[in-house]
Amino acid sequence: MASLTKNPNVNAWVDEMIALTKPDNVVWIDGSDEQLQALREEAVSTGEMLVMNQDEYPGCLYHRTLPNDVARVEDRTFICSRNKDDAGPTNNWCDPKEMYAKLTPMYDGVMKGRTMYVIPYSMGPIGSPLAKVGVELTDSIYVVLNMDIMTRMGAKAFENLGDTSDDFVRGLHSKAQVDPENRYIVHFPEDNTIWSINSAYGGNVLLGKKCFALRIASFQGKNEGWMAEHMLILGVEKPDGEVKYITAAFPSACGKTNLAMLIPPVCYTEQGYKVWTVGDDIAWLKQGEDGRLYAINPENGFFGVAPGTNAKSNYNALASTKKNTIFTNVALNNDNMTPWWEGLDKNPPVNATEWKGEKVNGPEYAAAGNKLAHPNSRFTAPAENCPCISSEFNNPQGVPISAIIFGGRRAKTTPLVYQAFDWNHGTYMGSAVSSETTAAATGAVGVLRHDPMAMKPFIGYNVGDYWAHWIEMGEKLGDKAPKIFNVNWFKKDDEGNFMWPGFGDNMRVLDWIIKRCEGTVDAVETAIGYVPKAEDINVTGIEDEITPERMQELLAVDKDLWVEEIAEMRRYYNDDIAAKGGRIPDVLYKELDELEARLNK
């Protein structure tokens, strides 16, 4: 099949990879409905995909991966920079020459008897000055169909590249034998290249997602003066129609997708407030001509965790899955070919197929302590399905950001919300993001896991240089920089119960954040930052639950706990980062010293 581009850089690289992998056929993906429909039919005919109930789930397909291939594999994920120090302490490093030498024989002839699909795609709206182009070569129809949902895929993606540019990300993927012993997800940032082999699971093989949009893009952003962040983007529309845009970064299991698609409480919707989703996972941020920071969502869909998603926890996410969605590793109700997962409702289907493909009696199987859906089972859903998708979703200029929010899961130390004194203090707050483990994560509960800016697994270079890049961005933005906040929805009382209702009620905190950005509400200056006055958080409708006393507890700053926090941050900076080659900017040590001095005053 003829190439879709005249660009010699693309064509030479594709030819080189064809010579290496030796596929029987090569298909260039033009993104046409006819081509995609033929691929869906082929995947169904071979049993790789199943067709869901087309009355209830039109256009939806089902896929299961092998039990050894169900999640991102951080221990098999590498950053291969030429200089080891450039990968830093948060990444696995290997010399690029050594890694190419190891992997090239694995790819040699790996696509014999298979078809290579050449996928051109744009991260970000076609024509956006913030967008970037990738080309992924794969032997998986599953990858093609998911990339169609997750990116702007097809011939039109080459419009941004043109006929001469070499600025595209080269992605090579083969599922090979799906062998976990030889599974590698490898990034060569200086070569704009990603190689993935022996996995067929989304996070390892949809190379536009974490691999390009965060690991490679964070490195590009450092070199080109912009930022790639693991952040949702939402707009809060006020009763007068003005929309304020916010980005937020949380570690996993901290309610990121729920916040991105939040439905405000009645006391807000009655006044005319609305929340609009621009993105649920990744933000690319660049200074605009007016000096402000603008964000686009480089993705075109949602790759969401299914378990726990229901009409109450996230109505908008659930609604997004109702058509043209691919479900991976969820359970099936065999009576009507509909998906099911833990947390969808309380009624496991009696005639069920669990995620590995075994037919079971759902209620009995669940009662014996088994999971019908894999805990990391997924839906890949088009963003346009989301009832609250922003009208600015495809705006090539992006949306102007007023506030940046960090958050984690902390039972005691961190108040419900507080504001940084300035950008550098906010950068320190981001570097200190951490979460206490829940029982689901590991055997031990309450162990502190550091996850700076919620980016720990996704920074494509040295974490210290990444923090320095944040500081540089702040200098560039000056007084146009967004204000930075920290939230904690997970504070607990002495009985171990969550003190804040969370979910839609988090709108009450967003409301205060926006008022702070507009300068229409005061705050209390504390050692850790600006904390709300208790009466300034709107509790209309939840007064019985959130009494003035409870609000004081939610906003309290416990000096002893913060002294412990500072000691832990010194240990983290020195032992986990600096001692292992992380180049921590002096500014962050200064912020830590000043925080300690304020606490001791």
Annotated catalytic residues are 254
| Sequence-ordered strand ranges (E) for 408-537 | 417-419, 434-436, 448-450, 483-487, 524-525, 530-531
Beta strands 132-138 and 168-174, pairing class: parallel
CA triple 544-548-554, angle to 5 deg: 100
The answer to whether residues 349 and 340 touch, using CB atoms and an 8 Å cutoff, is yes
The answer to whether residues 383 and 456 touch, using CB atoms and an 8 Å cutoff, is no
The answer to whether residues 527 and 561 touch, using CB atoms and an 8 Å cutoff, is no
Cα dihedral sign for 243, 244, 247, 248? negative
| Nearest in space to 453 (alpha carbons), one of 480, 496, 482, 484 | 484
Residue 126 φ/ψ, nearest 5 degrees = -55, 130
Q: And the tokens for 130? A: 């913030």
Strand order in the sheet with 326-328: 50-51, 61-63, 326-328, 378-382, 301-305
**Helix boundaries (H) for 443-584:** 463-477, 507-518, 548-555, 559-571
DSSP 494: T
Q: And the tokens for 150? A: 């997750």
| Nearest in space to 10 (alpha carbons), one of 167, 138, 127, 141 | 167
| Rounded CA Rg of the chain | 24
Q: And the tokens for 90? A: 């948060």
Beta strands 77-79 and 184-188, pairing class: parallel
Give the separation between CA 521 and CA 512, rounded to whole angstroms: 8
Q: How would you class 137 by CB atoms within 10 Å of its CB: exposed for 0-12, middle for 13-18, buried for 19 or more? A: buried
Q: Which residue has the tokens 């009620």?
A: 505
**Beta bridge mates, 186:** 78, 195
Give the separation between CA 394 and CA 351, rounded to whole angstroms: 42
In terms of phi and psi (left: phi > 0; alpha: psi -120 to 50; beta: otherwise), the region of 158 is: alpha
Q: At what angle do helices 463-477 and 217-224 cross, to 10 degrees?
A: 50
Give the separation between CA 119 and CA 142, rounded to whole angstroms: 12
